[in-house]
Every structure is written in C-alpha cells, then in structure tokens.
C-alpha cells in the first residue's frame, strides 16, 4: 500500500479479497466491521495493565479475529489467503475458559458489568463479541461461513466474561448483582 487512502470506496463500495467489490452495507462488511470493532476494543483492554496470562490470551484472540475477518472477506471461489479457524481453536478457548474459571468463586447470580477499567472494558468486549456472532449468523444466511467461526465467537464471548471476572477478582473487586427494580 503506497498510501492509506485510495478513493475507491468513495462510491459506497469496498473491496473483498480477490478484488470483488461490494456495498459497504453488505452482510460480509457488517460482519468484518464488527470483528474489527471487537479487535479495536480488545486493543483498548490491552492498553491497560493486565495480568500477563490475560494479555497473552487477548493477543492470540486479536490474531484469530484477523483470521476470521480474512475468511469472511474471501468470496466463494477465491483462493483463501489464510488458514480458516478450526475446531481446535474453539477447543482451545474452552480450555482457557475452564482454566480461568477454576480460579474464580462459583457464579451463583447474574452480575453487573463493571469493576476495574480493564474489567469493564472486557465486559464491553463480550457484548461486542456477541454482536459479531449475530452478524456472522446473519451472514451465514447469504454466504458460506465456516462452522467453527460462529462457535469460536460464541466461546469468545464466554471467555471475555470469565476474563472480566478474573481481572476484577485479581483486583479484589466485588461482583454486584442486579436488583431487577427492587429497592437498591
């Protein structure tokens, strides 16, 4: 890339891998854009002090999100430029969820998102991951989406929830429960 602006998107289209152009409101662009937002949100999380083991997990997740984005931006019939997300990647997230959850008190009630700045940012990341999952499910109605992609995003939101709890637990912060409108 010689420069950051190309002017090719000024007409409301954007390019996919392989050169095909689509509208910027196409389902695949919505899905990849939401993945980009999630990746940026994780960058915000990682800009705060975190336990090293959490930062390492989030770095790997950010890398995987680029892989998913490239997979979704590759039209059918175009040779993929990256290896697709696999079932093993989903299993790896499950192992990480189990590992971090084993260091937390059991969850018996709903909790309100919040806590420390990185804990709250992880809760927000979880919500964005859920939106990315919904965007990929919507995309799967019009184009092939690898089965592990939706499963990965589903587990990722679970992992981000557990990491938020873990970070807040490391800082000895309470997990307030919602009152559901009862007296506060």
Is residue 77 in some structural domain?
yes
What is the radius of gyration, based on Cα positions, of the chain?
18
Whether residue 117 is contained in a domain is answered as yes
Question: What's the number of domains the chain is made of?
Answer: 1
How far apart are alpha carbons 109 and 111 in whole angstroms? 6
**Residue 43 lies inside a defined structural domain of this protein:** yes
Judge whether 181 lies within some domain. no
In a 3-state reduction of DSSP, which class is residue 1?
coil
- Assess if residue 18 is contained within a domain: no
pLDDT of residue 157: 98
| Least confident span in 51-55, 148-152, 175-179, 180-184 | 180-184
Give the domain range for residue 48.
23-104+111-170
- The DSSP symbol for 128 reads H
Structure tokens at 126: 């979880």
Residue 8 lies in a domain: no
Question: Is residue 183 very low, low, confident or very high in pLDDT (cuts 50, 70, 90)?
Answer: low
pLDDT in tens, 92-145: 999 999 999 999 999 999 999 999 999 999 999 999 999 999 999 999 999 999
Q: Which two tokens stand for residue 179?
A: 């009152």
To 5 degrees, how large is the angle CA 33–CA 137–CA 22? 45
> Does 171 have pLDDT greater than 70?
yes
| Measured distance CA(37)–CA(163) in Å, rounded | 19
* Whether pLDDT at 1 is above 60: no
Is the model's pLDDT at 184 over the cut of 60?
no
Alpha helices in the chain (DSSP H): 27-46, 52-72, 87-101, 117-139, 147-170
């Amino acid at each position: 890339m010689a420069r950051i602006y190309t002017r090719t998107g000024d007409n409301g289209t954007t390019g996919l891998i392989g050169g095909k152009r689509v509208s910027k409101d196409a389902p695949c662009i919505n899905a990849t854009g939401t993945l980009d937002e999630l990746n940026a949100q994780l960058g915000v999380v990682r800009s705060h002090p975190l336990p090293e083991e959490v930062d390492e997990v989030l770095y790997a997740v950010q890398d995987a999100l680029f892989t998913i984005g490239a997979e979704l931006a590759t039209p059918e019939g175009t040779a993929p430029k990256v290896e697709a997300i696999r079932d093993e990647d989903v299993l790896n997230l499950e192992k990480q969820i189990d590992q971090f959850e084993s260091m937390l008190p059991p969850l018996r009630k709903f909790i309100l998102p919040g806590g420390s700045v990185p804990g709250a940012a992880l809760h927000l990341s979880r919500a964005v991951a859920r939106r990315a999952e919904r965007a990929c499910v919507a995309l799967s109605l019009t184009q092939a989406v690898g089965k592990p992609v939706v499963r990965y995003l589903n587990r990722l939101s679970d992992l981000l929830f557990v990491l938020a709890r873990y970070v807040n637990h490391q800082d000895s912060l309470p997990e307030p429960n919602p009152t559901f409108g009862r007296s506060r």
